[in-house]
Amino acid sequence: MRHTPRPASGMLGILGGMGPLATADFYRRLVERTPAGSDQAHLPVVLWADPAVPDRTAALLGEGPSPVPALVEGARRLRDAGASCLAVPCNTAHAYVEQLSRATGVEVLDMVGAALEAAARRVPGAGRVGVLATRGTRLAGLYERAGERLGLDVVQVPEPVQREYVDPAIRAVKGGADLAGPERWLAVAAASLRERGARVAVAACTELPLISGAAARVLPLVDSTDALAEAAVARLWRPGEAIRTVVRTG
Amino acid sequence: MRHTPRPASGMLGILGGMGPLATADFYRRLVERTPAGSDQAHLPVVLWADPAVPDRTAALLGEGPSPVPALVEGARRLRDAGASCLAVPCNTAHAYVEQLSRATGVEVLDMVGAALEAAARRVPGAGRVGVLATRGTRLAGLYERAGERLGLDVVQVPEPVQREYVDPAIRAVKGGADLAGPERWLAVAAASLRERGARVAVAACTELPLISGAAARVLPLVDSTDALAEAAVARLWRPGEAIRTVVRTG
């Protein structure tokens, strides 16, 4: 018997570890969203999780070392193991996905674009989409640039709300603190987005789904981890289908 | 800045896909059981999931192709990506772990031994440990041989109970059927182990934790997926610690 390790549609490479629990969460959602009728029909996956990748927000703020060497090394290992398409389950790391695609020659799924498209589908004609994100994702303008491409108006929370509600909420999840307070803080942040005219919002940090219950009662909320899982399934399980949310080389 | 991709304690390779959901479940438990105070302190992990690996039980029954070529290919890719130790979250695939270690020169964690040791810790002095497993795991005598090494008496359910309760329960989980019936069937199987003198049992198939609630009220039940996650943490996060549950080369 000749074993064929890769189907024609290719293999998904997951560049993870940012953080480890968000990576495990993404992988589980990917399996759950794959419309496979048996174990054997699921996507082939190779995953690289080096949790020592330097903090992305600290690097974008100029307060820490660049994560690029570690990210490029991981992406190259995934390519060498056979990955034909990469998923990076960390919104802030999307500041570097063009570099990753150039360094490896492998296409990278665009979680930011996929999340905005999911928001537009969730509330058709919304026009203005709110974003709950890390300070690094804001500074890099990731959602603003993707919004321009997709014809969506993107709005962030006011700076004092970022400082006093969103930043501490993300820190609390990473630190494993009690989450009742952070859940209320995120609802305050969602209300500030609604006041700025957003009719739907994106939980644009893979830590946020854990505390988004109250915020989702303020405003329809789309989860960027889910959007990335759906983009991966669309790309590899239905390879014939057109998809805009891919960063291609060069 | 020089980036160091691997800490001194090495990198865990996960040979997954058998099935995909069990692999995602194992990875999540690994992260949750790692005593890391920050993202950066977690274990580096590389994971290979080729769900097309032929069914292990069918192969052991002589009714299907061998999974060995696919398993060896996956193990080699993990070694080439830098794995210093392999975890295989599928009990039945442990019929082949010596071959995998020989083919790659990399040590493989022994989920079967780890699960039996966990059962012995759970009920000290139990002496006789019951096993709920696939027909392939039974046929290969995996738990019986590990029991001999560890000085534990291993008992399986009677053949009619395997056929009428355990096999259909595992099939129901894999097929995504309603799980209320399968949960009752597994409790019947646990009762048959108690009648045979077992004072603790191992859920020795990574599908079983999903339906083990009622069985765990009949007999203390140890989960093999948890035992493998704990063995991986012991091996890589505390590398100085002695550990018996590793299959070494040659």
Task: Match domain A112-224 to its CATH number in 3.40.50.1860, 1.10.3720.10, 3.40.50.620, 3.60.10.10.
Answer: 3.40.50.1860
Domain residues of chain A, as ranges?
A: 12-110+226-247, 112-224
How far is the alpha carbon of A88 from chain B, nearest alpha carbon, in Å? 14
Mean pLDDT of the B40-66 span = 93
- Residues of chain A with Cβ-Cβ distance to B56 below 8 Å are none
Domain B112-224 in the same topology as domain B12-110+226-247: yes
Q: Is B8 an 8 Å CB contact of chain A?
A: no
Residues of A annotated as part of the active site: 90, 205
Mean pLDDT of the B136-150 span = 96
What confidence tier does B228 reach under pLDDT thresholds 50, 70, 90?
very high
Instruction: Give percent of chain B above pLDDT 70.
Output: 92
Tens-place pLDDT, residues B59-82 = 999 999 999 999 999 999 999 999
- 3-state SS record for A84-125: CEEECCCCHHHHHHHHHHHHHCCEEECHHHHHHHHHHHHCCC
Return the pLDDT at B73.
Answer: 96
Note if B85 is an active site residue.
no
Cis peptide upstream of residue B181 (ω within 30 degrees of 0): no
Q: Residue A189 region, left (φ>0) first, then alpha (ψ -120 to 50), else beta? A: alpha
- Which H helix or E strand runs over B244? none
Q: What is the architecture, at CATH level 2, of domain B12-110+226-247?
A: 3-Layer(aba) Sandwich (3.40)
Return the pLDDT at B217.
Answer: 96
* pLDDT mean across residues, chain B: 90
Residue B210 has pLDDT above 60, yes or no: yes
- Residues of chain B with Cβ-Cβ distance to A19 below 8 Å are 39, 42
Return the pLDDT at A6.
Answer: 38
Q: Which of A227-231, B6-10, B25-29, B147-151 has the lowest mean pLDDT?
A: B6-10
Given CA atoms B89, B90, B93, B94 in this order, what sign does their dihedral have?
A: positive
Residue B207 has pLDDT above 90, yes or no: no
- Residues of chain A with Cβ-Cβ distance to B19 below 8 Å are 39, 42
Tens-place pLDDT, residues B114-127 = 999 999 999 999 88
AA identity, residue A201: A
- Which of B9, B25, B31, B173 is most worth mutating to test chain A (most A CB atoms within 10 A of its CB)? B31
- Window 101-130 of A: residues touching B by CB (8 A cutoff) are none
Of B19, B25, B65, the CB nearest to A1: B65
Minimal-distance CA residue of chain B relative to A23: B28
What confidence tier does B221 reach under pLDDT thresholds 50, 70, 90?
very high
- Ranges under pLDDT 70 in chain A: 1-8, 176, 239-244, 248-250
Return the pLDDT at B40.
Answer: 80
Instruction: Answer whether A231's CB lies under 8 Å from A111's CB.
Output: yes
Residue B22: both structure tokens together:
């069990």
